[in-house]
Each structure stands twice: as C-alpha cells, then as structure tokens.
Amino acid sequence: MPNKDIKLVSVPSPNFVPERDLGKPLVLEVSHLGIDFGGLTAVDDFNMAIGATEIAGLIGPNGAGKTTVFNLLTKVYQPTRGTILLNGKDTAGMNTIQVNREGIARTFQNIRLFDSLTVEDNVKIGLHNSMNYHMYHGILRLPKYWKEEKAAHEKAMDLLKIFDMEDMANAKAGSLPYGAQRRLEIVRALATSPKLLLLDEPAAGMNPSETAELMENIEKIRDTFQIAIMLIEHDMNLVMGVCESIAVLNFGKIIAKGTPAEIQNNPQVIEAYLGAKKEED
Amino acid sequence: MKKHTKNSFLNYGIIILFFVIFQTLVSTKHISNSLQGQLIPICVYIVMALSLNLVVGISGELSLGHAGFMSVGAFSGVIVSTALKHSVENGALRLLIAVIVGAIIASVAGVIIGIPVLRLRGDYLAIVTLAFGEIIKNFLNVLYVGVDAKGLHFSLKDEASLGLDIATGTTIVNGPMGAVGITKISTFFSAIILVIVTLFIIQNLVYSRTGRAIKAIRDNRIAAEACGLNVTKYKLVAFVVSAALAGSAGALYALNYSTVVPKKFDFNTSILILVFVVLGGIGNLTGSIIAAALLTVLPELLRAFSDYRMLVYAIVLILVMLITNNEKARILTTEFKYRLKIKKKSIGNKEVSE
Ligand SMILES: Nc1ncnc2c1ncn2[C@@H]1O[C@H](COP(=O)(O)OP(=O)(O)O)[C@@H](O)[C@H]1O
Ligand SMILES: [Mg+2]
C-alpha cells in the first residue's frame, strides 16, 4: 500500500505545455484545487496548466479522484479550495451551464446520452446554444426555424462524419452499441464548440481496433478544431500514445507529472499502480 | 416524411374525423342528448390530457394538480365573459377573449409555482402541484365576485359584502356555489378549434429546438447541463405552456354550463386527467386523445355505474399497470406488433410484384 503521507514533490508543480502553445494563453490553469466530501478529501492541492492545443492525460488507480477532478472543472461539484482559470477567467461562482458556455465540454465515465433521442438530435443538443431562434419561431414554423434547423442538420452530419456515424443519424442513441455511444458523446461534446474537451475513459469497453481508431481521432480532433483535450484513461497504449503530458493522481493528490517517457519510469507511479493492483487481487 | 410528421398529421386527422362524424350525427339528429352534451367536455379533456402529457411525458415531471390550472382558467374565463357581456356582444369573440384570459391567468399561476419548484432537483413538483390544486379549490370556495356599472367587485367574505349596485349588479362567483348565471357561449366547433390549436402548439413545440431541449433534460439532466442547457428554463417552459393550455380548456369548459362549482376541479379530476395520460401512454399524444375521449364518454355509457366511476378507474389503472409490467403480456404485444409488421410487409410486397 502506497504511503498516504508522502509529501508532494513539487508544489506548485511544473507544467508541460508544448512548445507550440507557449506563445498562446493557457486554456486551463488550476491551482490548489481541492474538495472534501464530509471527512473524505477526494482531491487535494491539484495544480495543472494546459496549453491551447495540448493533449493532456490524467491517470491513476481507481478511486484516485480523476473523475472528481472533471466534476470540479465542470462544476458538477463546487470546489472546497483552489481556483480554476479558464482562458484566464476565474470560474468561481459559475455553474455547469456557464462553464460549458465558457468553453469546457466533457464526456462521462458512465455514458450519459439522451437515450430516447436520435443520434442526430443528441448532436443538435450540443448545437443548442449556437442556434438562436425562439420558441415562437418553432411553434409557428417561421422561416428562421427552417433555416436554423437545416443548418443544424448539416452541422450535425458534418460532426458525425468524424467518426463515420452519419448513417446512424436516425437511430435512437440508447440503442447504439457501446463503442458508438462513447463516440457519440464525444461528437455531442464537440458540438458545443469547446476550447477544452474532457474525456473520461473514452476507450473503456472498446476493443483494440476501436481504441486504435479512437487514438487517431483524438489527434485528428485536436488538429481540426485546434482545441485542448484532457483525458482520463486506463489504456496505457492510448495514454502514452497520444498525450503530450501526463499527471498521475493517487489518493486525490498528484504524485507525478511529466512526459509519457518520464511517467513510465517514475518509481512512485509504478508503486501506486502496483499497490493498487495488489489491493484489487 | 419523417415518422413524427406522420404522427402529427394522424392526430389532426383523428380530431377532424371526430368532428365531421359527430357534427353529422348532431345535424341529422342521430345522437342522444346525453352524448351530445359530452362533445365539448370530451374536447376539453383531450386538451387537458395533451397538456398534462407535455409535463409528464415530454418533460418527465409529475404534476398532480392539473385541474387546479383548469379551475383558474374556468373562473377567470367566466368573470371576463360575464363582465364583457354588454361591451362584447359577439359570443364567439367573447369566448376567444375568455379563453385567452384563462390561459394567461393560468400561466401566471404556473410561473409562480414553477419558478421556485423547478429549480430543485427531485420530485417536488408532484407535492407542490397537489397542494396548489387543493389551495386553489379552497380559495375559490370563499371567493365572491360581482359586476355592476362601476366595474368588478371582489370579496373573500360573502355575497353581501360585494356591495353591488342593486339595479345593475350581477354576482358572477358566489363562493361554494361557484360561478353562476353563466351565458353558454362554448360550441362544439370552438372546442374542436381549441384541440387543434393545442395539438399545433404542443407538436410544433416538441419538434423544435425547445422541445428537443425539454426531452434531453428529461433523459439526462446532468448531461444536458454539461451541454449548456438551462435546465430550469426549459422545465418551466413545458410547465407554463401546459398550465396555459389547461387554463384555456378550463375557460371553454366553464362557458359550456350555466353554473360551475370549484369542487368540480378537485384532486379526483387531476388524477382522472393523469389516468388519461398514463392509459394513453406517457409521451404518446395520440394515446392521450383516445384515452381522454373514451374515458370521458365511458361513464356516460355506463350511467348506472357512475357512482363507482373512480373505483372502475382504479381497477383499470391497476390492470394496465399489471399488463404493462407483465413479461408475458409484453411478449404477446411485441409478437402481435411483429406479426402486424410482417403482414404489412407481405401486403406491400404483393403490390410491388403485381
Ligand atoms: N459525491 C461524492 N460523495 C462522496 N464521495 C465521493 C463523491 N464523488 C466521489 N467520491 C469519492 O471520491 C473518490 C474519488 O472518486 P473518483 O473521482 O470517481 O475516482 P476515479 O479516479 O476512479 O475517477 C472516491 O473515494 C469516491 O468514493
Ligand atoms: Mg472515474
């Protein structure tokens, strides 16, 4: 069992923003973020900066607090401590909706689609705030309704093309196979035109070929949309393959940060993972 | 044509067919008096069921006080209609004004209830709407309204304290005796128009950006927030539109009788409307239409049993729940649907091959 009392090596820890993003403002700057659930400190002193087009990884054993970090960033939980700057703007006091409008979109570890809606409508929900016709335009079927719905349809189809999902557009989201549901969540998140995309275990439940395709697509998404991506993942091939920087979380604290190569050889990381493995066995 | 467009036209078709058939029966005098008297209530209950389905089925919230909004519309509609009796002589126009005012006042009530409750997570709406229905009934029980040359008079005490002018005054609302001396201005035709307008509003709303958001929030609130949807706003939109439609139905309903008592819009009526929605299928508008129409005439057809109406409803409701939750019954219905499909397909193939 890893020692809970190990003091962190680096506070504030160094960040690994890729060189190409150095001239640009940081998309995310988190300092001393923490949350307590009653007596339990789920995340503590979490520091991280992400460059404008960086792909960052967040790894750690189960229960380390990774999803909780995403829930803090998206204000599903209000942080107990710390600050989150999104494009330099403090998100204190914002709620989930406002944070999304400011540019964070996410997927969920336990898939959360609008099951009874079609695939296309799921994407259109992502486009909702970029459309601006009013309720009465819709009820009276005024020209603005037709025009914007048509544009949304085309945009949704374009987005679905990223994952070759156009032919599923009319299927109910709840009826899709697991892998397709995960991909649809990503498309829906992208539809909200985020600056930072949070992916919570995007490859969970996917087979190796789907995972390989996902890896390519994550890079493709970053290149096409010029956005930053932060992902939580247990598939080490994927993490080491696409992430430019990785933070390792254990018991709610960052125990290491670095490039994939650095992380792979970090004894503390290895111990955290082996320790967790032993516990599970 | 998309499936939902087809469904929308089916619903308009059913209503128009219903109108044509019964209008013909009425004009050729092939209809019993009691059934003819049910035509407007049928339309009203269809509107009530459709509008409740917007909250229960589309928005996924439970409302147990839908009759409360109906009564708000009914009483405000009657007050307006009686007050305008001399200034607006045309009955159809006065009905239109009364229905619109009923809708507006009911939607105000909807906003007042909806804003605090729909911000909360959890099924608080059921409790609050239940209370609303009871409160509004008790309020109307002590409400006295009259009109004379000087205008409208209100009192929460008794009729005498209205202080109406003896020569020109009329009492409109008389406490537990309800709205009295109503001039009947509702017609079957106007009731059909209201059903069609209701269908138009709900169907076009559901298949627009707003309706999509309402359904998304119902399916997954957390994901909807993560997509930047204003959850409270869209829940409120569904609730208030529903209240407004119930208010307009209430006005039309009241203006079909000479008196209407507050007790008419009690908890039983709210549950009755909920039963229409549940029996017709939650979220299924065609189902709401059919269930509301059938269950409104059923007691009329089984007049002798009308004392046991609520008992019968309870039994029917339990049966339906048993059937819909029964594995065997579900298998039977899916098999039946499957066979129907095959039949349709083979008919279709024949047409092609011939
Ligand atoms: N809402 C909550 N209330 C109490 N404890 C929570 C809550 N959410 C998460 N936790 C706890 O925080 C810890 C981290 O959970 P989580 O972030 O889901 O881990 P993971 O790294 O596997 O995603 C766990 O011990 C979990 O039980
Ligand atoms: Mg997790």
CATH number of residue A95's parent domain: 3.40.50.300
Residue nearest to atom 25 of ligand 1 (CA): A63
Residues A36 and A62 in one domain: yes
Residue of B210, B229, B237 lying closest to A97 (CB–CB): B229
Is residue B55 within 8 A of residue B63, CB to CB? The reply is: yes
| CB contact (8 A) between residue B216 and residue A125 | yes
- Number of domains observed in the structure of chain A: 2
Q: Is residue A271 part of a domain?
A: yes
Q: Work out which ligand 1 atom sits closest to the CA atom of A60.
A: 21
| CB contact (8 A) between residue A113 and residue B204 | no
Range of the domain at A159: 113-193
- Measured distance CA(A113)–CA(B223) in Å, rounded: 7
The letter for the amino acid at A12 is P
Q: How far is B291 from chain A (nearest CA, A)?
A: 23
* In the predicted structure, residue A210 carries a pLDDT above the cut 60: yes
Residues A121 and A216 in one domain: no
Q: How far apart are the first and last CA of chain A?
A: 13
Intervals of chain B under pLDDT 50: 348-354
The letter for the amino acid at A218 is I
Mean pLDDT for the stretch of residues A132-153: 97
Q: Which of A193, A224, A248 is the last residue of a domain?
A: A193
Tell me which chain A residue has its CA closest to the CA of residue B231: A97
Residues A4 and A99 in one domain: yes
Tell me which chain B residue has its CA closest to the CA of residue A135: B210
Q: Which of A193, A211, A231 is the last residue of a domain?
A: A193
Residues A134 and A97 in one domain: no
Residues of chain B with C-beta less than 8 angstroms from the C-beta of A141 = 204
Q: Is residue A27 part of a domain?
A: yes
Residues of chain B with C-beta less than 8 angstroms from the C-beta of A122 = 216
Q: What is the pLDDT at residue B329?
A: 61
Per-residue burial over B309-332, b = 16 or more CB atoms within 10 Å of its CB, e = otherwise: eeeebeeeeeeeeeeeeeeeeeee
Residues A3 and A91 in one domain: yes
Q: Is the CB of A2 under 6 A from ligand 1?
A: no
Q: Work out which ligand 1 atom sits closest to the CA atom of A70.
A: 17
Q: Is residue A158 part of a domain?
A: yes
* In the predicted structure, residue A1 carries a pLDDT above the cut 50: no
Strand partners for B260:
B179
Q: Is residue A73 part of a domain?
A: yes
Is residue B260 within 8 A of residue B254, CB to CB? The reply is: yes
- Measured distance CA(A127)–CA(B229) in Å, rounded: 10
What is the whole-number distance in angstroms between the Cα of residue A58 and the centre of ligand 2?
Answer: 10
Residues A91 and A214 in one domain: yes
pTM over 0.80: yes
Q: How far is B220 from chain A (nearest CA, A)?
A: 6
Tell me which chain B residue has its CA closest to the CA of residue A137: B208
Q: What is the pLDDT at residue B257?
A: 95
Q: Is residue A91 part of a domain?
A: yes
Q: Does A76 touch chain B (CB under 8 A)?
A: yes
Q: What is the pLDDT at residue A3?
A: 42
| CB contact (8 A) between residue A97 and residue B210 | no
| CB contact (8 A) between residue A121 and residue B212 | yes
Q: Is residue A108 part of a domain?
A: no
Closest residue by Cα to residue B248 from B150, B111, B101: B101
In whole angstroms, how large is the CA radius of gyration of chain B?
22
Residues A206 and A189 in one domain: no
Tens-digit pLDDT profile for residues A25-51: 899 999 999 999 998 999 999 999 999
Which domains are seen in chain B, by residue range?
3-303 (1.10.3470)
Q: What is the pLDDT at residue B166?
A: 84
Residues A247 and A276 in one domain: yes
Residues A263 and A135 in one domain: no
- Measured distance CA(A88)–CA(A97) in Å, rounded: 18
| CB contact (8 A) between residue A117 and residue B205 | no
Whether the complex's predicted ipTM is more than 0.85 is answered with yes
Cβ neighbour number for residue B134 with a 10 Å cutoff: 16
Q: Is the CB of A78 under 6 A from ligand 1?
A: no
- Measured distance CA(B206)–CA(B217) in Å, rounded: 13
Q: Is the CB of A250 under 6 A from ligand 1?
A: no
| CB contact (8 A) between residue B228 and residue A141 | no
Q: Is the CB of A63 under 6 A from ligand 1?
A: yes
Q: Which of A173, A193, A213 is the last residue of a domain?
A: A193
Please confirm whether the linkage preceding A12 is cis (ω < 30° from 0).
Answer: yes
Residues A210 and A94 in one domain: yes
Helix (H) or strand (E) holding B140: helix B124-141
Q: Work out which ligand 1 atom sits closest to the CA atom of A200.
A: 23
- By three-state DSSP, how is residue A79 classified? coil
Q: Work out which ligand 1 atom sits closest to the CA atom of A252.
A: 14
- Measured distance CA(A65)–CA(A249) in Å, rounded: 7
Q: Is the CB of A60 under 6 A from ligand 1?
A: yes
- Measured distance CA(A198)–CA(A82) in Å, rounded: 19
Residues of chain B with C-beta less than 8 angstroms from the C-beta of A189 = 226-227
- By three-state DSSP, how is residue B224 classified? helix
Residues A42 and A165 in one domain: no
- Sequence length of chain A is 281
Residue nearest to atom 23 of ligand 1 (CA): A67
* In the predicted structure, residue A253 carries a pLDDT above the cut 70: yes
| CB contact (8 A) between residue A135 and residue B237 | yes
- Measured distance CA(B165)–CA(A201) in Å, rounded: 77
DSSP code at position A213: H
Q: Is the CB of A71 under 6 A from ligand 1?
A: no
DSSP code at position B263: G
Q: Is the CB of A61 under 6 A from ligand 1?
A: no
Q: How far is B208 from chain A (nearest CA, A)?
A: 5
Residues A262 and A131 in one domain: no
Q: Is the CB of A146 under 6 A from ligand 1?
A: no
Q: Is residue A119 part of a domain?
A: yes
User: Which ligand is the nearest neighbour of the Cα of A69?
Assistant: 1
Q: How far is A113 from chain B (nearest CA, A)?
A: 7
Q: How far is A111 from chain B (nearest CA, A)?
A: 9
Q: Is the CB of A248 under 6 A from ligand 1?
A: no
Q: Is residue A174 part of a domain?
A: yes
- Chain B segment 200-229 residues within 8 A of A by beta carbon are 200-201, 204-205, 208-213, 215-216, 219-220, 222-229
Q: Is the CB of A37 under 6 A from ligand 1?
A: yes
Q: Residue B10: which residues within 8 A CB-CB, separation 6 or more?
A: B286
Is residue B274 within 8 A of residue B64, CB to CB? The reply is: yes
Residue nearest to atom 7 of ligand 1 (CA): A37
